[in-house]
C-alpha cells in the first residue's frame, strides 16, 4: 500500500534534481546555455508549487486514487516528450509543464491517503518517514542516477527511466483503495487558482530577474505579492458568501502549522539549492562530467538515507520540535564544513563531509515537519492542507534553484559559488529560528477516523 506512494514521491523529487548534472550535456545538445537549463529546472519546480493547492482540491472533487492515476499518466507523457525533445522549447513543454502539472496532481493524494490510512502516531511517523525519506533520497540520488544514465547512454535516457518508473507505479497502485468517496459536487475556485498561481510565478520570476535588472525584480516581486494579497481577500470574500474557497482561511490561523510550513520551505530551499550550486560548480568550474558529479552526491544520499531509516526510532525518543531543530543545526553546520574543506583542500572529496551533514540534517527534519502540518487538521481538511504543504515545500525547491542561480550568475566570479552557499546557510538559520518558535508540546494525533 505504501510502496507506490513512496515511489511517486521519489520520482518527483528525482526529477527536481537529476537535471543538475546534465547542464553541460543538455546545453550542448540543444544548443542552449546553462541559464536556459536553469530556466527549465526552475519552471518545473514553479509549476509544481503554483498548482499544488488546486491539485489538492481537485483530489477531493475527483477522488484521491483517480487524481493520483491521472497525474502519473500526464507525468509519463511529459517524460517521453522530454526524451525526444529537439530543442529547449519542447524540453520545457515536456519536463517543465507536463511533468510539473502531473506532479501537482499526484503528490497531494500521496499525503492525503497516507494521513487517512495511518491514524496513530507511530504508524503515521513510519509512513511519512518512508515517503519523506524517499523524497529526500530522490532529490539526493537524482544527480547520481542521472549522472550514471547520462554518461552511460544519454541525458535523454534519464527521462525514459522516469517514464518506466511511472509505469511501475501505475502497476503497483492497482490495489490501492481510496478511504473516502469523491465529492463531484464541490465547486472549483478558478479565480483563486489563477490569483495564487500568478502571485507565486511573478515572485519567482522577480528573483530570477535580479541578475539583469533590480528595478524589474522589484516590480515583479511587488506585483506578485499584490496578487497574493488579492488572493487572500478573494478567499475571505468567498467564505463570507458561503462559498468554498481554494484555501480555507482556517488553515492559515493555525500557528503551529504555519511555523512548520516555514520549516518545510527552508528545508527544500536548502536541499535543492545545495544540489544546484554544487553540481554547477563541479561541472562549470571543476570540469567534471555527469557521473563524476553524481558520485559526489552519494554522500548527501547516504546522510538522508541514514536519518530516514531512523525516522520511526527518532519519533519515539525525541519530540518532533527537537528533531526539526537538530536537523537545521546539522544541515547548517554541513554548509560551513563544505565551504571550509572546499577552500582548504583540493579534490572533489572535500565536498563529501559537508554534503553528508546537509543530507543527514535534511533527512532528520523532513518527516517531523510534514507530520506536524498534516496532523494539525482533521479529515475534511486533508485535501487542502496537503496541497498547501506540498506547495510550500515545492516553492522552497523553486526558490532554492532560483536564488542560487541568480547569485551564481551575478558576475562575482568563482566566489559567487561560496556566496550562494552562504545565502543557503542563511536560509537554514531562518528555518532554525522558525523551528525554535514551535511549541514544546505539539499535538501528536489528528481526529482522523479509520474508514472502510
Res. 448: pLDDT tops 50: no
pLDDT number for residue 411 = 55
Q: Could you tell me if residue 185 is inside a domain? A: no
Domain containing 352 equals: 3-179+246-437
Cα–Cα distance, 176 to 382 (Å, whole number)? 18
Q: pLDDT tens digit string along 51-71?
A: 877 877 787 778 888 899 999
Classify each residue of 33-49 as buried b or exposed e, where b means 16 or more C-beta atoms within 10 Å of its C-beta: ebebbbbbbbbbbbbbb
pTM more than 0.85: no
Mean pLDDT of all residues in 395-411: 73
CA–CA–CA angle 136, 116, 1 (5° rounding): 60
Residue ending a domain, choose from 245, 267, 283 = 245
pLDDT number for residue 159 = 93
Cell of 152: 552511460
Do 257 and 283 share a structural domain?
A: yes
H or E element, residue 245: none
Q: Are 298 and 144 in contact (CB under 8 A)?
A: yes
Cell of 406: 541568480
Q: pLDDT tens digit string along 90-139?
A: 999 999 899 989 988 888 888 888 877 777 666 766 777 778 778 777 87
Do 256 and 131 share a structural domain?
A: yes
The total of structural domains in the chain comes to: 2
Cell of 220: 515583479
Do 287 and 204 share a structural domain?
A: no
Res. 375: pLDDT tops 70: yes
Alpha carbon 367 to its chain centroid, in Å, reads 13
pLDDT number for residue 447 = 38
Residue ending a domain, choose from 245, 262, 277 = 245
Q: Could you tell me if residue 240 is inside a domain? A: yes
Do 232 and 209 share a structural domain?
A: yes
Q: pLDDT tens digit string along 321-336?
A: 888 999 999 999 999 9
pLDDT number for residue 452 = 25
Do 307 and 258 share a structural domain?
A: yes
Cβ partners under 8 Å of residue 273, min gap 6: 399, 400, 401, 403, 404, 420, 423, 424, 427
pLDDT number for residue 248 = 82
Res. 218: pLDDT tops 60: yes
N- to C-terminal Cα distance for the chain?
Answer: 15
Q: Could you tell me if residue 281 is inside a domain? A: yes
Res. 155: pLDDT tops 50: yes
Cβ partners under 8 Å of residue 242, min gap 6: none
Do 201 and 120 share a structural domain?
A: no
Cα–Cα distance, 53 to 170 (Å, whole number)? 23
**What backbone phi and psi angles, to 5 degrees, belong to 396?**
-60, -45
Q: Could you tell me if residue 284 is inside a domain? A: yes
57-71, 295-309, 375-389: the lowest-pLDDT one? 375-389
More confident of the two residues 12 and 416: 12
Res. 449: pLDDT tops 50: no
Cell of 75: 507525468
Do 47 and 8 share a structural domain?
A: yes
Res. 282: pLDDT tops 60: yes
27-41, 141-155, 301-315: the lowest-pLDDT one? 301-315
- Residue 161: CATH number of its domain: 1.20.1250.20
Do 17 and 121 share a structural domain?
A: yes
Mean pLDDT of all residues in 75-82: 94
pLDDT number for residue 93 = 92
Do 254 and 227 share a structural domain?
A: no
Do 235 and 260 share a structural domain?
A: no
Cα–Cα distance, 256 to 285 (Å, whole number)? 43
Q: Could you tell me if residue 447 is inside a domain? A: no
Q: Predicted confidence band at 163 (pLDDT cuts at 50, 70, 90)?
A: very high
Q: Could you tell me if residue 446 is inside a domain? A: no
CA dihedral of residues 77, 79, 84, 90 (deg, nearest 10): 80
Do 147 and 111 share a structural domain?
A: yes
Residue ending a domain, choose from 230, 245, 260 = 245
Do 241 and 323 share a structural domain?
A: no
More confident of the two residues 259 and 55: 259
Q: Could you tell me if residue 442 is inside a domain? A: no
Q: Could you tell me if residue 186 is inside a domain? A: no
Amino acid at each position: 500500500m505504501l510502496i507506490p506512494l513512496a515511489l511517486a514521491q521519489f520520482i518527483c523529487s528525482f526529477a527536481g534534481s537529476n537535471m543538475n548534472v546534465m547542464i553541460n550535456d543538455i546545453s550542448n545538445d540543444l544548443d542552449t546555455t546553462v541559464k536556459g537549463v536553469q530556466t527549465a529546472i526552475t519552471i518545473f519546480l514553479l509549476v509544481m508549487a503554483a498548482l499544488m493547492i488546486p491539485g489538492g482540491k481537485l483530489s477531493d472533487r475527483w477522488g484521491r486514487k483517480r487524481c493520483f492515476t491521472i497525474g502519473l499518466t500526464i507525468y509519463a507523457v511529459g517524460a517521453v516528450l522530454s526524451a525526444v525533445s529537439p530543442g529547449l522549447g519542447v524540453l520545457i513543454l515536456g519536463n517543465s509543464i507536463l511533468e510539473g502539472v502531473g506532479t501537482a496532481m499526484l503528490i497531494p493524494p500521496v499525503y492525503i491517503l497516507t494521513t487517512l490510512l495511518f491514524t496513530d502516531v507511530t504508524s503515521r511517523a513510519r509512513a511519512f518517514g518512508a515517503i519523506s525519506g524517499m523524497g529526500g533520497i530522490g532529490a539526493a540520488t537524482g544527480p547520481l542516477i542521472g549522472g550514471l544514465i547520462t554518461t552511460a547512454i544519454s541525458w535523454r535516457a534519464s527521462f525514459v527511466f522516469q517514464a518506466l518508473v511511472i509505469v511501475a507505479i501505475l502497476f503497483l497502485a492497482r490495489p490501492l483503495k481510496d478511504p473516502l468517496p469523491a465529492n463531484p459536487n464541490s465547486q472549483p475556485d478558478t479565480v483563486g487558482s489563477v490569483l495564487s498561481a500568478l502571485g507565486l510565478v511573478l515572485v519567482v520570476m522577480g528573483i530570477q530577474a535580479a541578475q539583469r535588472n533590480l528595478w524589474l525584480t522589484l516590480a515583479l516581486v511587488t506585483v506578485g505579492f499584490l496578487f497574493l494579497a488579492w488572493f487572500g481577500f478573494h478567499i475571505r470574500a468567498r467564505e463570507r458568501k458561503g462559498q468554498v474557497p481554494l484555501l480555507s482561511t482556517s488553515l492559515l490561523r493555525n500557528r503551529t502549522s504555519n511555523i512548520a510550513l516555514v520549516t518545510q520551505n527552508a528545508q527544500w530551499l536548502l536541499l535543492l539549492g545545495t544540489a544546484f550550486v554544487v553540481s554547477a560548480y563541479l561541472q562549470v568550474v571543476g570540469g567534471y562530467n555527469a557521473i563524476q558529479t553524481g558520485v559526489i552526491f552519494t554522500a548527501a544520499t547516504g546522510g538522508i538515507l541514514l536519518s530516514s531509516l531512523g525516522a520511526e526510532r527518532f519519533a519515539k525518543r525525541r519530540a518532533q520540535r527537537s528533531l526539526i531543530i537538530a536537523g537545521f543545526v546539522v544541515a547548517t553546520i554541513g554548509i560551513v564544513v563544505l565551504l571550509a574543506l572546499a577552500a582548504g583542500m583540493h579534490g572533489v572529496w572535500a565536498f563529501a563531509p559537508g554534503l553528508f551533514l546537509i543530507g543527514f540534517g535534511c533527512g532528520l527534519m523532513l518527516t517531523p515537519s510534514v507530520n506536524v502540518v498534516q496532523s494539525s487538521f482533521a479529515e475534511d481538511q486533508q485535501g487542502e492542507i496537503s496541497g498547501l504543504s506540498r506547495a510550500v515545500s515545492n516553492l522552497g525547491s523553486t526558490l532554492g534553484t532560483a536564488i542560487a542561480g541568480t547569485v551564481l550568475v551575478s558576475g562575482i566570479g568563482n566566489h559567487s559559488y561560496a556566496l550562494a552557499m552562504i545565502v543557503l546557510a542563511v536560509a537554514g538559520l531562518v528555518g532554525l529560528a522558525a523551528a525554535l518558535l514551535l511549541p514544546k508540546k505539539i499535538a501528536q494525533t489528528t481526529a482522523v477516523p479509520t474508514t472502510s
